[in-house]
């Protein structure tokens, strides 16, 4: 029996395979007074499959602010609510943040009913380090903005995790290869838990080749995971301005002196600039 008075449940639902629906998720969705769903038609099919007849209302990006107030009113009347999204865990690149924030501000109990999420499923099979990772959600859709944004992540040492859609998977992977380097190790996880699930690992050059070589590899939903830079690689990755200074000084001075002056000018460590100079010399 679940607590059914004035409680908001945040309920994860399957990414594709209905066998991933937890018994507790079914119980909660059956017993609450209302289910707030991102797309009521889409979720209606899921609920029907499990014989759940609870009433639904919609909560999506465009009505969240206004709808949250209505839901808070219901909680204050002692009703219980469950929030679900189209797939996976609500609030993870999905609506609900404002609703949860408001519910907590008003002192209502918010209870997680955990389950599938593409970021965790992809990490668990990627073979990349999982002790520290940075979840970045969807990269910006416009190429110029995306490239500048990826540049800010070029020296990140944690595993990077991105969501991407079929419309932009090729462009995004190509930009990642250009900015993170074609040799950076990465994984593309496609259609997780579904019939055409694929987990493809390799360097970014190989993954661009894989995704462009077959139109089927561009279909469905994607998680892209990028190996973080190792501390040694990070040391060599100076920004373009510092590299330019170093190049000019190296034309006139011995490496040691050029590195010291560059480090001083750009506020960097001597050793790191020296290593970059060695890499420039080849
Ligand atoms: N809340 C969801 C979660 O917990 O993973 C994510 C919702 S977000 C709007 C949708 C994105 O998640 C997709 O574009 C894709 O990047 C990723 N995703 C969702 N389901 C997936 C699947 N079965 N395989 C791979 N990626 C998936």
pLDDT digits (tens, 9 = 90+) for 77-101: 999 999 999 999 999 999 999 999 9
User: Is-contact 227 129, C-beta < 8 A?
Assistant: yes
User: Is-contact 175 150, C-beta < 8 A?
Assistant: yes
Is 239 a residue whose pLDDT tops 90?
no
pTM of the model: 0.85
Is 236 a residue whose pLDDT tops 60?
no
Nearest Cα to Cα of residue 163 among 88, 62, 84: 88
Q: Residue 48: which pLDDT band, with cuts at 50, 70 and 90?
A: very high
Q: What is the CATH number of domain 7-116?
A: 3.40.1010.10
Is 219 a residue whose pLDDT tops 60?
yes
At 223, phi and psi to the nearest 5? -120, 130
Residue range 105-117: mean pLDDT, rounded: 97
Q: Residue 271: which pLDDT band, with cuts at 50, 70 and 90?
A: confident
151 Cβ closer than 6 Å to some ligand 1 atom: no
Which secondary structure element, helix H or strand E, spans residue 200, and what is its range? strand 198-203
Is 126 a residue whose pLDDT tops 90?
yes
Task: Compute, in angstroms, the gap from residue 175 CA to the centroid of ligand 1.
Answer: 21
Ligand 1 pocket test, candidate residues 12, 37, 87, 117, most atoms within 8 A of CB: 87
24 Cβ closer than 6 Å to some ligand 1 atom: no
What pLDDT is attached to residue 1? Answer: 61
Ligand 1 pocket test, candidate residues 14, 93, 165, most atoms within 8 A of CB: 93
Burial class (CB in 10 A: 0-12, 13-18, 19+), 208: buried
| Alpha carbon distance 79, 157 (integer Å) | 46
- 96 or 239, which is more confident? 96
Least confident of 26-35, 256-265, 266-275: 266-275
Rounded to the nearest angstrom, the gap between the alpha carbon of residue 278 and the centroid of all alpha carbons in its chain is 36
User: Is-contact 111 65, C-beta < 8 A?
Assistant: no
- At the top level of CATH, which class does the domain 119-231 belong to? alpha beta
192 Cβ closer than 6 Å to some ligand 1 atom: yes
Domain spans in the chain, listed from the N-terminal domain onward: 7-116, 119-231, 238-281
User: Is-contact 50 26, C-beta < 8 A?
Assistant: yes
What pLDDT is attached to residue 237? Answer: 61
CB atoms within 10 A of CB 229: 20
Q: Residue 221: which pLDDT band, with cuts at 50, 70 and 90?
A: very high
For 18-47, the pLDDT digits (tens) are 999 999 999 999 999 999 999 999 999 999
Nearest Cα to Cα of residue 6 among 144, 110, 85, 154: 110
Index of the ligand 1 atom closest to the CA of residue 88: 4
Query: To the nearest whole percent, how much of the chain has pLDDT over 70?
Result: 96
164 Cβ closer than 6 Å to some ligand 1 atom: yes
Question: Per mean pLDDT, which of 64-68, 90-94, 226-230, 233-237 is the most reliable?
Answer: 90-94
């Amino acid at each position: 029996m679940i607590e059914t008075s004035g409680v908001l449940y945040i309920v994860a639902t399957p990414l594709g395979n209905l066998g991933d629906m937890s018994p507790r998720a079914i119980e909660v969705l059956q017993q609450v007074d209302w289910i707030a769903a991102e797309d009521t038609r889409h979720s209606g099919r899921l609920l029907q499959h499990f014989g759940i007849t609870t009433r639904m209302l919609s909560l999506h990006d465009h009505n969240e602010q206004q709808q949250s107030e209505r839901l808070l009113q219901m909680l204050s009347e002692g009703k219980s609510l469950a929030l679900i999204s189209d797939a996976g865990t609500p609030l993870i690149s999905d609506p609900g943040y404002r609703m949860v924030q408001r519910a907590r501000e008003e002192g209502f109990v918010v209870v997680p009913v955990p389950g599938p999420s593409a970021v965790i499923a992809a990490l668990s099979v990627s073979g990349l380090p999982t002790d520290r990772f940075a979840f970045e959600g969807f990269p910006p859709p416009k190429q110029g903005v995306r490239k500048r944004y990826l540049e800010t992540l070029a020296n990140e040492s944690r595993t990077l995790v991105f969501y991407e859609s079929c419309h932009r998977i090729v462009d995004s992977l190509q930009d990642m290869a250009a900015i993170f380097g074609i040799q950076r190790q990465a994984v593309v996880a496609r259609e997780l838990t579904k019939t055409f699930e694929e987990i493809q690992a390799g360097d970014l050059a190989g993954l661009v080749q894989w995704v462009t070589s077959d139109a089927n590899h561009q279909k469905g939903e994607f998680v892209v995971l990028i190996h973080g830079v190792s501390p040694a690689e990070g040391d060599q990755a100076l920004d373009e301005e510092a590299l330019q200074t170093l190049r000019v000084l190296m034309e006139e001075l011995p490496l040691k002196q050029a590195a010291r002056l560059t480090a001083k000018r750009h506020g960097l460590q001597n050793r790191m600039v020296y290593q970059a100079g060695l890499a420039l010399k080849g």
